[in-house]
Amino acid sequence: MAPRLDFSDWWRKDSKEGTPVVVKMENPNYSVVEINGPDSAFRPVEKSRGKNAKQVTWVLLLKAHRAVGCVAWLATVFWALLGTIKKRLIFRQGVAVATEKLGKGKLVLKIIRVFLVASLAILAFEVVAYLKGWRYFESANLHIPRTLDLQGWLHVVYVAWLTFRADYIAPLIQALSQFCVVLFLIQSVDRLILCLGCFWIKYKKIKPRIEVDPFKSDDVEASGYEYPMVLVQIPMCNEREVYEQSISAVCQMDWPKDRILIQVLDDSNDENIQWLIKAEVAKWNQKGVNIIYRHRLIRTGYKAGNLKSAMGCDYVKDYEFVTIFDADFQPNPDFLKLTVPHFKGNPELGLVQARWAFVNKDENLLTRLQNINLCFHFEVEQQVNGTFLNFFGFNGTAGVWRIKALEESGGWLERTTVEDMDIAVRAHLNGWKFIFLNDVKVLCEVPESYEAYRKQQHRWHSGPMQLFRLCLPAIITSKMAFWKKANLIFLFFLLRKLILPFYSFTLFCIILPLTMFVPEAELPMWVICYVPVLMSFLNILPTPKSIPFIVPYLLFENTMSVTKFNAMVSGLFQLGSSYEWVVTKKAGRSSESDLLAAAERDSKTINQAQICRGASETELELLNQLKEQKEANPTPVKKVNKIYRKELALAFLLLTASVRSLLSAQGVHFYFLLFQGVTFLVVGLDLIGEQIS
């Protein structure tokens, strides 16, 4: 008997488009019907056949349903925003007001409040004039009658305001706006040139390469391979969430154990965290890893002081290179084998910098927007500068330094909060070259809350201006080429560190709202819309998946200009907050490289006995106590959102200006001011870090 072939299961599993099925009826009066797919029977027979009235009705109903759903979604979001405003601004539920520690912050807030009150008064005045029909006075070709011919004191005041506005206020705003527009165009050209340079690198496939076997020894009698001595430093301060995964990743790097030393540089002032880090170091030490724990009794100079103290140890002279990883960085095992070989045969090379990658870039809207900025910084700015100029700012972590370059450049200095940029500038002045490896990535975290991101950006923008004041004489008197001096002064410091936050805050947060009340100083459309969108699109190009976030990105960057402008001013004029260092709060997100560490944590009970044999009885008791505290259920900490007064004041200022633009029928200005005002409002209420996927 022939085997029975049943293809029904196979057809159900693998068929996606549908298989031709022939249906034969025994009655010869019926015809043969061939169905090419599941939807074939429902396709129109004739292409020219139009839709009937019933089909059109269903299509219209479907579109109406979608429109109603969209309107309902917008109404829900608006209602939720109003509820949040009521809860946080009026009743102050679960929020804390961000403190202004310095007079500068209070002064900026007072200035914004003055602008807000003035704009509200002018808006009320303009609404009355609009309702009275006085809006025709905005026409330049219309004759303004004399004061005696007018009736009503309000009308007289309005005419006087128009004259004063056109003769005195408008010229000042116009001059300032033209100055900012020029800066805006210069910065846009610089960004466009950087993008073209990045395209050229991609087109020509330019990247640093290793031509020969870097570890091959010339000595025939030797083992055949020679690995240089590498010192690895992990500076940290109260890093309870990330210390374990960082130490674990560094200890698993593929390098001969007798050619590497790991320094855990702990500046923690919490004794519990200190003992937890000591226990982690002891665990890896028992496994044969050459790792030591260092703690400073006097914490001066923040991270720079910590690194300076570690480099002062006697055994450092035996090492040729030093690599630095912040507490949340998790390098791959082959990191040293991908970076250290570039130094061989290149005695002028002082730094090899790797790129950052982020384990939590899709956590919320805030992390997505940060990922756009940082990807542009690494893939465009640093890659182009490293390829064509052999110079860029050291990122403070995920880089390998030649110790000789550090020593000849003066070592780590404690004079600024951007010690990484400081040592990079001094090394560049001493003739050392840098290499950026875009293909070598080290996993880390970006701040997930607006409070942490705001403090990080304050340090990143106040430190460069403080460093610029200190380094300017050294740059001018240095012996390097004139074009290198110009690049450092005008491009590296002024254009990208000073001009960018200045024009962004002044143009979009101050001048644009004022032009709504002073129409004689109106900004052109290309300044408000076309050029910012184009620049934002160029920023998003390194991360194509982020293109749907181009509008939130543009609005959020303008919003962050307030924080960046404050930081720039504090650093430039040496205000108190310019030397303020706040450790960025981290969540301790794990990555793929943590799988081995997770397996080791599962076998913690087995390894505990080995650790205990290498510890004294006193240390054993402390470690057991800390273990009990760590395993105990911690008390959940309730998240407290913050209210930022400067952002809220600017939000209401922009919303007031949007109402004025609506009266004058300026559509694009209205939408831009409205959306920008809502963004300031969301940031002021500390909602930007919520879980928005």
**CB-based burial of residue 415 (10 Å sphere; 0-12 exposed, 13-18 middle, 19+ buried)?**
middle
- Report the alpha-carbon distance of residue 203 to residue 328 in Å, rounded: 34
- Report the alpha-carbon distance of residue 472 to residue 103 in Å, rounded: 27
CB atoms within 10 A of CB 105: 18
The phi-psi region of residue 268 (left if phi > 0; otherwise alpha if psi is between -120 and 50; otherwise beta) is beta
Q: CA geometry: angle at 343 spanning 337 and 345, to 5°?
A: 120
The phi-psi region of residue 345 (left if phi > 0; otherwise alpha if psi is between -120 and 50; otherwise beta) is left
Q: CA geometry: angle at 422 spanning 333 and 244, to 5°?
A: 30
Helix axes 550-572, 365-376, angle to 10 degrees: 70
Residue that has been written with the tokens 């911690």 in this structure: 634
Q: 266, 267, 328, 594: which is the annotated catalytic residue?
A: 267
CA separation, residue 294 to residues 47, 132, 314, 324, 610 (Å): 80, 76, 14, 15, 22
Q: Any idea what DSSP says for residue 576?
A: G
φ, ψ of residue 17 in degrees (nearest 5): -90, -15
- Report the alpha-carbon distance of residue 315 to residue 403 in Å, rounded: 13
Question: 218 an active-site residue?
Answer: no
| Residue 336 and residue 391 in contact, taking contact as beta carbons nearer than 8 Å | no
Question: 167 an active-site residue?
Answer: no
- Report the alpha-carbon distance of residue 423 to residue 405 in Å, rounded: 10
Q: Any idea what DSSP says for residue 452?
A: H
Residue 241 half-sphere exposure, CB side, CA atoms within 13 Å?
12
- Report the alpha-carbon distance of residue 429 to residue 417 in Å, rounded: 20
Closest CA to 185 of 524, 498, 532: 532
DSSP three-state, residue 303: helix
Number of helices (H) and strands (E), helices first, in the chain?
25, 11
Closest CA to 436 of 386, 399, 511, 502: 386
- Note the maximum CA span of the chain: 118
- Report the alpha-carbon distance of residue 540 to residue 545 in Å, rounded: 8
Residue that has been written with the tokens 């110790």 in this structure: 403
User: Beta strand pairing status for 321-324 and 399-402?
Assistant: antiparallel
| Residue 259 and residue 229 in contact, taking contact as beta carbons nearer than 8 Å | yes
N-term to C-term CA, the chain: 61
φ, ψ of residue 445 in degrees (nearest 5): -120, 155
Write down the H helix ranges in 541-666.
550-572, 595-602, 604-613, 617-631, 645-663
Q: Any idea what DSSP says for residue 488?
A: I
Q: 326, 328, 420, 422: which is the annotated catalytic residue?
A: 420
- Report the alpha-carbon distance of residue 440 to residue 354 in Å, rounded: 5
Six token digits for residue 179: 């100055």
- Report the alpha-carbon distance of residue 262 to residue 246 in Å, rounded: 12
φ, ψ of residue 354 in degrees (nearest 5): -100, 165
φ, ψ of residue 508 in degrees (nearest 5): -95, -20
- Catalogue the active-site residues: 267, 420
